[in-house]
Amino acid sequence: MNISSTAVKRPISTIMVVMVAVFFGLMSLYRLPIDLMPDITFPTLTVVTSYDDASPEEVERLVTIPMERSLAIISGIETINSTSSRGSSVIRLSFAWGTDLDVAANDIRDRLDRAMRFLPDGVDRPQLRKFDISAFPILILGASAPMDPATLRHIAEEEVASRLERIAGVAGVEVWGGRERQINVVVDPVALESYDLNLQHIQRAIEDANRTHSFGEIQRGDYAFSLRSPTALRSLEDITGIIVARRGDNPVRLHQVASVEETYAKQSRITRINGEPGVRLAVRKQDGTNTVAVARLVKEEIESINRLFPQMQVVSIIDTSTYIERSIANISFSMMYGGSLAVLVLLFFLRDFRSTLVVATAIPVSLIATFVPVYFAGLSLNLMTLGGLALGIGMMVDNSIVVQENINYLRRTPPWDSRQTASLGASQVAAAIVASTLTTLVIFLPMFFTEGMAGIMFRQMAYVVTFALACSLVMALTLVPVLNRQGNTMAANATGPVGGFLYRIFESWQNGYNWLLHRAVQHSFVVFAIVAVLFFVAINLAGQMGREFVPQADENGVRVQLEMAQGTRLSVLDEEVRKLESRLTELIPEARASMTRVDDSGRAEVRVAVVPAGQRDRSSIDIAADLRRQLPSSPGITVRTRPEQGLFILRMGATQDSDNLEIVIRGHDTSQLEYWGEIIEEELGQIAGITDVRQSQFTSSVETHLRINRERASQLGVQLDDITRTVRAGMDGYQVSLFREDGRETSIYLVYRGDEPRTPGDIGNLRVHRERGDPVVLRELIALETGEGPHQISRRNQQRFLSLWANTAGRDLGSVGADVEQMLTNLPMPAEYTVAVESDYQEQQKAFRELITMIGLAILLVYMILAALYESLRAPLVVMVSVPMAFIGAIFALWITGSTLNMQSLIGMMMLAGIVVNNSILIVDRAMRLQRKHQMGSQQAALEAAMRRFRPVIMTTLTTMLALAPLAIGVGEGSEAQAPMARAVVGGLLSSTVISLFVVPIVYHWILGKRDQDTARS
C-alpha cells in the first residue's frame, strides 16, 4: 500500500492533516521575524586599545606589534589587520567561516591578559568587540532646533535617546553632533605668580573640593547608616570660592587667580540636519528582533517626542525598515502575480475549472505549510528566504500537474472508477516526480558545504526551496488524489465552446510538434549542428558579459564626500562643505532630507536621502553619476560621490569599507609605500571606469615637535610635569575634574587666559613655575621643530601596508579589476614589496570559483541520483543532455536584459541543473515504461513518450516561467537581489524545454538503442 492509496481511502484524515499543516503554517508566518538579510555574525573580532596622547609610531611599536605577536598564534585566524593612530590601536582578527567565535574570544582574552604584562604604563585594558550585522543602525535620525547646541545635545541624549532605548528590541542609541558643555577655569598668569602658585596647586584644590569620601557605616539604634562626605561643588559659585592656598591667615580663593566660565568644549566635529545645526542619532536593534516592528515602534515614539518638544524636530534620514517593507512587499506581489499566471496556464491546458482548482490548491497549501519548517529552523523573512519561496512557487505546482494529468489520462479510458484512477494516477508517476524532486533538491546540497559569503547568504534560500518542494511533493501524492476522489467525466473531457476552442489550439500545437519531431529525427545531425552553434555563441557572449560581486541596488540615497589636506582647520573645511550643501540643494531636486558630518580629520560627508524610486525619474546610481560630472574636484579639494546601495551587506565579508576596489601595497618602509601609492593612484586614473580613487589613510602629516631640554630644566628647578601642564593649559587646556549638576556631567578644564597660542612664539612666551625663584620663560627650556609623522599606520598580517580605494562607474567590476591586475603586473616594484587587488574584486573572484565548483558538483550529484534511480549508467546521460541546453537560454536571457554575471545569476544557473532535467525525466521514464510493457524499440518508444509527455512538459515549464516572470522583470525595490537569478532560470527553462523536446528522443535512441540491439542478438 502506498501513500496515495492510503490518502484516497482516508480522505477525512488527509484533509485534517493538511488543515493542521496550514494552521501551524499561518502561526509560524505570524511569528517569523522580518529583516533585510539573514542574521549573520561575520567571523571577525576586533581588539581596541587606548594609549592616550601616544603618537601613531609609538602606538605601533609599544602596543600594536606586541599584541599582534601574541594574538597571531591563535588557531583559525586568516587575516590580522591593524591600525595605529594617535592614542589608539585597533586590531581586526578575521577567522575562517564556521569558527566558534565564543571559543576564539576566550582564546583572545587569554592572550590579551598575557600581553598586558609587556605593555607600557598608561595603556588602557584592551576591549574586545564582535562584528555583527545587527550592529548596523536600522534608523539614522536627525534632531534640529533653534536652541543652544549643548542643550540640543543634552535633550537628544537624556530625553530622545533614553526614551528610544526603553523600546523593546532597541539595543542602543548613539548620539553624534551638537556641542558639549565645558567649564573653563581661566587662570591669570600674573595673579598666579603674585601668590607664588602654579597650575598644580589649582588642579589639586579643585580635585580635593570635588572629591566624595565614604567612611563606612554608623549605628543608630536598630539601623545602620552610611557616613559620607558629599562634594562641596554644587554650582559655579562654589567653584569660584574654592580655597587654593593660604598666605598667612588669609585664604587665596580661586576667583582671585582665575575666572570660571561656562562654555563649549573644543569642537572637533560638526553635524547638520537639512542644512541646520543638529544631532545625529543611530538606532541599533537587539540581535534576533524584528527590524520592521522595532523601527515602527521607534517612529511612533518619535511622533510622541516631536509633540512633547515642539521646539525640536526629529526626522528620519536613513530608514532601512522602509526599504525592507517595500522589498518584501514587491517580492510578495511578484509571488502573487506569478502564482496567478501559473493558474491561468493550468486553466488553458486543463480546460476545466475543477482540475485547475485541484492543482492550484497545491500552491497556497504548500506555500503556507513551508513556513512551519522555516520557523523551526530559526530563519527569518528576508530577501533570501522570500526569494527562495518566489523561485519555488512555480515548481511547487509541477508535481501536482503531472499527477493531475495522469489521472485525467486514465479517466479518458473507460470504464474507470474515480477512487481507483485517483490512486493509480498518482502511483504511476510517483517514481518520476520523486526522482525529479530529488534532482532539484540535490543541487542545493553543495551549498551546505560551501564557505564564504556565497554559502552563508544562499544557504537559507536552499533551506526554503527544499522545504517548499518537499511540501509540494507530499501534497501532490496525497491532497491531489483526495481532491480527485469524487471526479466525474465532465472533469476529464473538454466541453463547451471555450473548452473546444482551447482544445483545438493545443491540438494544433501537438500536431505541429509531432511533425517537427519526426523531421528532427530524420535530420538529427542538422539539429545537433544548430544546437552546437547556439552553445558556442552563448559561451562567447558569457565571455563578453560584465561581472560583478552582487547586483547594484537602489536604496534611495547618495553620499558625497569632500576631502582636504590633513591639518586643514575645521572652520575652513566647514566653509567648503556649506558651499557643497548649497550646490546639492540645486542639483538634487529629488532630495527628501540630508545629513552632514564634518570632522577635523580633513574629511566631510553629506548623505542625501531621496524620495522613493516610484516618485523620481533618476535612480540613485544615475544621480551619483550626474553629481560626479557636476561636482569635479579642484586644487586642494577632492569630491567623491557614490549611491547608497541596499545590497551592501553582501559585501561585508570582504571588507568593512564601502568601495568596490582595494589595492594593497605591502612593505616596511612608509616612505616607499607612499611613493608607490602615488604612482599607482596616477595609473588608476588612466583606467576607464574607475572613479573616487583615494588612499585609505593619510600616510604622513605635518607636525610640530616640542623637545624639552631636561638638563636645563633640572638646573633651574623646573619639574617636567609643570612644563607639560603649562603647555597644555596654554593650548586647549586640560581636564582636571567633572562637575555634576542635575544628572549632567560637565568637564572642568584648566586653561590660561588670553588668546589661544597658535605660533611657536606664543608657546615660548608662556611662563612656567619653578621650585625656588621667579618663573622661567618657556623658550629657555624647549625647542620647537617642524617635522613629518604618520597620521595612521596600517598593518596586515604583521606587515605595514598602504591601501588605495576606488569605485567603478560605467563598467563592471570584473573587467575593471582585470585591467587593474594587468597594470599592477607591469610595475617595476622591488621584490620586498608586493601589491594585490582585494576587497569586492577579491571576494567576487573567490565566490565565482566556489559557485562554478558548486555547479559542477550539482551536475555530478544529479547524475548520481538518476543513475541510482534507473540502475543504469547510460540512461542518466539522456536526461543530462538538457543541462547544457539550459545554459544557452540562461546566458541569452542575461545578455538581452543587460544583466551581469554575479552571485545571483550563477546560483540561478546552478538551480537549472536540477530543474531542467525534470522534463527529460518525464520523457525518459515514459519511454522506458513503454519498452518494458509493450516491447517497443528505443526510437518508437522515445517518439511516443515525447508526444505523450508534450502536454505536461509544456504545462510545467510555462507555469514555472510565468510564476518567475514578475520577479525576472525586476520592478520595485529589493528585486535587484533576485532578478538575475529569475532571469537565468526563465531563460534556461525556455531553451532547455524547446531544445530538449527534440534532442532527448534522438539521444535516447542513440544511447539506449545499442541496448536493444544487444538484447535482440542475445
Report the distance separating Cα 716 and Cα 709, nearest Å: 11
Give 226-264 pLDDT, tens digit per residue.
877 776 677 888 888 888 888 888 888 888 888 888 888
Report the distance separating Cα 822 and Cα 290, nearest Å: 46
CA 220 to chain centre: 63
* Contact (Cβ atoms closer than 8 angstroms) between residue 976 and residue 553: yes
Grid cell digits, residue 407? 489521472
* Contact (Cβ atoms closer than 8 angstroms) between residue 335 and residue 393: yes
* Contact (Cβ atoms closer than 8 angstroms) between residue 968 and residue 981: no
At residue 186, φ and ψ (nearest 5 deg) are -90, 110
pLDDT of residue 891: 93
- Which range among 9-13, 312-316, 758-762, 836-840 shows the weakest confidence by mean pLDDT? 758-762
Percent of the chain with pLDDT strictly greater than 90: 6
pLDDT of residue 1016: 41
Report the distance separating Cα 756 and Cα 763, nearest Å: 9
pLDDT of residue 653: 43
Comparing CA positions, the residue from 765, 377, 351, 322 lying closest to residue 555 is 322
Within 484-589, residue ranges assigned H as helices are 489-492, 496-522, 524-544, 570-587
The DSSP secondary structure of 322-352, one letter per residue, reads: HHHHHHHHHHHHHHHHHHHHHHHHHHHHH-S
- The pTM score is 0.76
Report the distance separating Cα 694 and Cα 674, nearest Å: 12
Structure confidence at residue 893 as a pLDDT band (50, 70, 90): very high
Which domains can be identified in the chain, with CATH numbers? Answer: 1-31+351-486 (1.20.1640.10), 32-134 (3.30.70.1430), 136-180+268-325 (3.30.70.1320), 181-264+702-789 (3.30.2090.10), 496-544+872-1018 (1.20.1640.10), 554-644 (3.30.70.1430)
pLDDT of residue 654: 42
Comparing CA positions, the residue from 349, 22, 2, 293 lying closest to residue 168 is 293
- Tell me whether the omega of the peptide bond preceding residue 415 falls within 30 degrees of 0, making it cis: yes
Report the distance separating Cα 677 and Cα 788, nearest Å: 18
Give 627-682 pLDDT, tens digit per residue.
888 888 778 888 888 887 655 455 444 444 556 788 888 887 777 888 888 888 88
pLDDT of residue 497: 64
843 CB-near residues (< 8 Å, 6+ apart): 452, 453, 549, 651, 653, 654, 655
The DSSP secondary structure of 786-833, one letter per residue, reads: EEEE-SEEEEESSSEEEEEEEEE-SS-HHHHHHHHHHHHHTS---TT-
The DSSP secondary structure of 700-764, one letter per residue, reads: -EEEEEEEE-HHHHHHTT--HHHHHHHHHHHTT-EEEEEEEETTEEEEEEEEESSSPP-SHHHHH
Structure confidence at residue 533 as a pLDDT band (50, 70, 90): very high
pLDDT of residue 372: 92
pLDDT of residue 645: 63
What is the β-pairing status of strands 181-187 and 744-752?
A: parallel
Arithmetic mean of pLDDT, 755-780: 74
* Contact (Cβ atoms closer than 8 angstroms) between residue 59 and residue 86: yes
CA 295 to chain centre: 18
* Contact (Cβ atoms closer than 8 angstroms) between residue 282 and residue 138: no
* Contact (Cβ atoms closer than 8 angstroms) between residue 997 and residue 519: no
Q: CA 890, 893, 899, 900 torsion: positive or negative?
A: positive
Q: What's the chain's average pLDDT?
A: 82
Comparing CA positions, the residue from 142, 43, 45, 178 lying closest to residue 98 is 43
Structure confidence at residue 1014 as a pLDDT band (50, 70, 90): very low
- Which range among 335-344, 980-989, 1002-1011 shows the weakest confidence by mean pLDDT? 1002-1011
Distance, first Cα to last Cα, the chain: 37
Arithmetic mean of pLDDT, 532-544: 89
Arithmetic mean of pLDDT, 145-154: 86
Q: CA 969, 974, 976, 981 torsion: positive or negative?
A: negative
Give 779-806 pLDDT, tens digit per residue.
888 887 776 667 778 888 888 888 888 8
Structure confidence at residue 453 as a pLDDT band (50, 70, 90): low
Grid cell digits, residue 160? 530622545
Report the distance separating Cα 585 and Cα 577, nearest Å: 12
The DSSP secondary structure of 442-485, one letter per residue, reads: HTTGGGGG--HHHHHHHHHHHHHHHHHHHHHHHHHHHHHHHHTT
DSSP 652: T
Grid cell digits, residue 837? 587587488
* Contact (Cβ atoms closer than 8 angstroms) between residue 844 and residue 548: yes
330 CB-near residues (< 8 Å, 6+ apart): 971, 972, 973, 974, 975
pLDDT of residue 690: 84
Q: Using DSSP, how many helices (H) and how many strands (E) does the chain show? A: 35, 30
Report the distance separating Cα 997 and Cα 942, nearest Å: 10
Structure confidence at residue 334 as a pLDDT band (50, 70, 90): confident
Grid cell digits, residue 463? 533551506
Grid cell digits, residue 134? 545587527
Comparing CA positions, the residue from 330, 24, 267, 246 lying closest to residue 982 is 330
DSSP 773: S
Report the distance separating Cα 377 and Cα 388, nearest Å: 15
For residue 690, give the H/E element and its range: strand 690-695
- Which range among 36-45, 556-565, 617-626 shows the weakest confidence by mean pLDDT? 36-45
Three-state SS at 965: helix
Give 464-507 pLDDT, tens digit per residue.
888 888 888 888 888 888 888 765 544 444 455 666 666 677 77
Percent of the chain with pLDDT strictly greater than 70: 91
888 CB-near residues (< 8 Å, 6+ apart): 531, 534, 535, 538, 988, 991, 992, 995
